[in-house]
Structure 1
Amino acid sequence: MSRVIVKGLPTYYTEEKLRDHFSKKGYVTDVKLKRKNNGESRRFAFIGYKDIADAENAVKFFNGSFIDTSKIIVELAKSFSDPNVPVSWKERRKERDELLQRTEERLQQMEEAANRRKAKKQKKVNHLNDKIENNSNLKEFVEAMKPAAQSRSWANDEVVNTEGAPTNEKLEEALGLTKNGSDDSDDEYDDNLVSGKTKTKDDNVNENSEEKMISLNDMVSDEKDDETNEPNGKDENMDDLDWFKSKRKRIIDTQEGDEAKNVEPLNVSQSQTPSGIENGKTEVEAVASGEDEEEEDEEKEETVRELSLEERNIDRILVTGRLFLRNILYSSTEDDFRKLFEPFGALKEVHVAIDTRTGKSKGFAYIQFETAKDAVKAYIELDKQIYQGRLLHILPGEVKKEHKLDEFELKNMPLKKQKLLKRKFEASKQEFSWNSLYMNTDAVLDSVASELGISKNELIDPTNSSSAVKQALAEAHVIGDVRSYFEKKNVDLTKFSEKERDDKVILVKNFQFGTTKEEIGELFAAYGELNRILMPPAGTIAIVEFRDAPNARAAFSKLSFRRLGKSILYLEKGPQGLFTKQADQSDKFQVEEKTTETKPNASDVLESTKNEDVENNEDSGDEDTGPTVSIFVKNLNFSTTSATLSNIFKAYPGFLLAVVKTKPDPKNPGKTQSMGFGFAEFKTKENANAALRTLDGFTLDGHKLQLKISNRVGNTNEISNSKKKKAKSGKIVVKNLPFEATRKDVFELFSSFGSLKSVRVPKKFDKSARGFAFVEFATAKEASNAMDQLQGVHLLGRRLVLDFAEQESDDVEAEIEKMTKKTKSQAKSRELADLREGNSGKRKLELEEEDEY
């Protein structure tokens, strides 16, 4: 363990003194002096060392020594997972309170569950009782099926519902024993009763079997048998009592029709089992068994043990496979944690949160494993363990937020964009490149040609069959120069063949010749501080090293396959241990801080220009008669006039005019009122910008002025806004072109003023020219220069009319509207031509002004 415990400290000793005292035997990473609630020292502390060896040396050196007059005991500290660590009385009391609280909550939940089950059971019993009370036959059946222990023999008449029971008259009618009105005695009937009392043993058995006929099963089955096999006449061997007993089951059928209709029908299954009897059970037994099953299910749900905090953390880690580490050393690096966690499984990512200002850790990190089981294993083994003198606290990490496009979003993008995104995504995962020192072939040839002082065409002759050999020799020469340069800059070239990559080092390749070190530095410095940039004199490859790995990963993902100039950047992560020494001061890249000019005070400018000669301003106003620039001034006081507005602008060079816009006053006819804004006109854009920077926010008549450059055209210039926009284009339309002029003539005329991208001379169906052409220059500046030089030039006797062509709009709706308008104009032109040829009667035709294309 790299953490020690110190006992027997003086009460007045502080953490700063402890750090100074124990730092003699190694780098101290953590000092924890334990105190009471009132702030008094408990006379023991924990000291953390970065290495285990330093902690062991400190124990050997300081154990038994004295601090002032107190003898201290120094031992290696134990982690929380050590079984020999005693539990404090506070923790025991806390555990006891938590156990008591959990027990009370569980008892309360059990009581609530029992009440719910009892209420549910009582509800079912009440429903069953109501059903029995409403059905007299079912009630009689239930009472008859009760066990002897639950029935009272003397209370049969009280329990059985006699309502609707058959009377003697109905019984006699059913048995065919109606009285004939004679005075004969019932001696014969009494004799039969007496003889019934003196039955044999077999007769008793028959009687017991006859008593079982009350069962519903026997009722239904006997009724069916009697309906099918009932004898037509009376058996000769059957006496009257036996015949009466055989007819006893017919009593139910003798009830009145209305009463029989009230009896609920019995749902007999395929086995002729009534609905109240399921698998040999009565309805009451079935309900009771169902309740028992529900009670068992509820008890199972309630007996589910509540998961502990550690078990919940493990379940979360199994989902994400990501660990969150805190209380780590601020000087820890990603390599330290990679070495710590790699024994538990393959790592997908190690990310230490870095403070961009200091470049040091923020005290927490994230570990992403390839498999979640490895993450759980690492969590169980390393949580609350001592690492670099600190107690490592591990928690389940949240799923990393990745802004990835799904297949549906990719399908909606152009194919070129899809391929670019896929290449960027694959580049971020690439760990090895087959050619780390790859260089653009065109850049290699340019570098060699520049070194030899010749053109690339002279170096590579397309008519010579040995051009490929020359190209290979040139590349070999450049690679040799690059290798020698990197070796001088402490770069180990043998590391390029190794697989392990360093996130902080990026190889920049495939940029065009002429790209400077400053351009590369400015491109990458936007993502974080750079340690060094190495670029050989050949200018074909570069190595960029970041101070922080997270910033380097961000730059790698954003700049992969980024267009720089005419080429696309190829990025590759550099190998581990590429540099043998620290960066020299000459290799470091310093971002030049842009100096911001302090905004001059408007009152100072006005005060300094009060004594200037007005005639000088008037003379300077006649020097330039070019296009003017206007400043839009808003938030004016309604009492501010044009003269007041002119007074604050006239002190600035290039000022021409200031106007407050007005409108007729509806309350005072013949007078005007201010609209709250105005315009100030200057000769050049530079003059307008200088005034805008100074007077923006200036207070005039109690109102703060708000200024911005206006799109309004000055009064001294007739150029339209559309032409200003066209001036930014590098494409020129040449009108009034002679029909005899060819594309070659136009090309030779304009090529002397710059490099041309394209020359197009539209033709008719008969291959004759249409009288105009389009010339596109490489830059807008070259096009503007050609416009100035060729205005008014004649070609084959015709004066050329030049104008900037309209730029193609990026708005699809605008293009559709433009094409629709053009189609309508062409249709009306054809209609007008048909009218002229047919000499038809007069028709009213509305024509719109045709646009020039």
Structure 2
Amino acid sequence: MSRLIVKNLPNKVTPEGLKEIFSEKGEVTDIQLKYTKNGKFRNFAFIGYRNEQQAEAALEYFNGTCINSMKIDIQVCANLGDEKKPRAWSKYAPDSTAYKKLHKDEIENKSEEKKIKRIEKNKNKIKELLKKHKDDPLFAEFIDAHVNDKTAWIKETYQEVARSEDEDSGVEEENDKSTANNDTEPKTVLNNEVSNNEEKNADKKISDLEYMKLLMKKVQSTEQDTPLQQDDQTPKKIRNRPLFHVKVTGLPFKCKKKDVKEFFKPLVPYSIRLPLGKGKKIAGFCYVGFRTENELKKALIKDKLFLGKNRLHVHKFEDKAKKAAEEEEQTFQKKKQEKQNNEESIGESGSIFIRNLAYVVSEQEVTTLFEKYGPLTEVNMPIDPVLRRPKGFATVTFMIPENAVKAYTELDGTAFCGRMLHLLPAKTDKLANESDDEGLSFKEKKAKKLKAQAKSSHNWNTLFLGVNAVADVVAANYNTTKEQLLNDNNKNTSAAVRLTLGETQLVAETRNFLESNGVYLEVFNKVNT
């Protein structure tokens, strides 16, 4: 193991100071001082070395020594998910008993919240199922027949769903008084009917016993009616339905909401907003909201009608900012979906993306590490063009995907050159299909093709000549035409052989010309050191 954990460090220690101390026994590739969420130093750090031999030497040399009068304790760092890893005891570790004791209330609240969310989720699913069958009389009869004490809540939920469907989504503030008056009218009518019935029964020629029975029936009926009346008095739930807005321009400056309502009759607007201009006067336009799209279409018919002496213009209003946000969200979701479609699991692609590599790691070291699990087809380690060193990540591709899965399960979270490896499924390049090029122009298709061909080494070779250029030069040298050069009537040699010979001759002539002018071509074949 090339990674060590150093405990009991002093509070004022710095990464630079630790690196200076521990560099005596080898090349330090990583130093991590650990802090709490509040920024308090936890008095321990992780130190990574280039190889295991350097880490062992540092462990033997520095363990039990002092840093600023603090005796440090050094141990070999365990891999992530290691079964032999010692149990956490710190109050900052979520797995420790000390942490659970300190955050007992938070843990209980989280568990309760999860339980409540799960129950609400189940109830919402049941409500959706009940909504589908709310108009089915056979389903209602089935519930009445099979409901018992334990499942009585299903019947209550079914009744709530039926009632909520019949309720309106909202009520205008100005109509509150009228609705209140309408609610009181049925009560007075009922009371009058009851009193009239009592007077009629009193005038009838019946015995006292029959009269008492009639009174008892009325008492029972009123007791059954009271819960229904209480349910009517409960406030109605207002649903957050999206409104359909129109913008009305050309309003007179003394216009009021009642004038706008009068203009849109028989339609009933759900909301009316009159913006104020300078001097707190009406700006000459307003926004009117309707509940349904059908009402919106009827409102648009009133375009160019008159309100008094003013001609009003009614147009559909769309919030540009909201529309732009929705379009942005749609594009984001589309890109996210495409990204998910392009991603393949390690078992399918056989490619692994490696993160958190040390900057001193070479491509050969990565190849050696992963070759243990199977043959590799590709190892890609990007190099920073400015710093001339690896960027800290790489991609490896296995010939057999099963080997990639095995490497992923065994190497993820292990230490390599002093750092913890983080392995992920690599993104595979999407194959160029004809369907992908349907919406592209000829220029874009050509640029895409050239970009794909740019990876080939012969395209940037100075001595490389295209087939068309070779045919032109050979035809010019031998005073012939391209047609005769490419003609296959000659049985001795084919057109391909003639072009190959011509290209070889041209490359040799170009090479001799460059060497005669002092260009040393062998330098290009040497590896940079």
Query: Which has the larger Rg?
Result: 1
* TM-score interval, smaller chain: 0.3 to 0.5
TM, length-normalised to structure 1:
0.27
**Structure with the higher fraction of residues in helix conformation:** 2
TM, length-normalised to structure 2:
0.42
Structure possessing the higher relative contact order (Cα contacts under 8 Å, 6 or more residues apart): 2
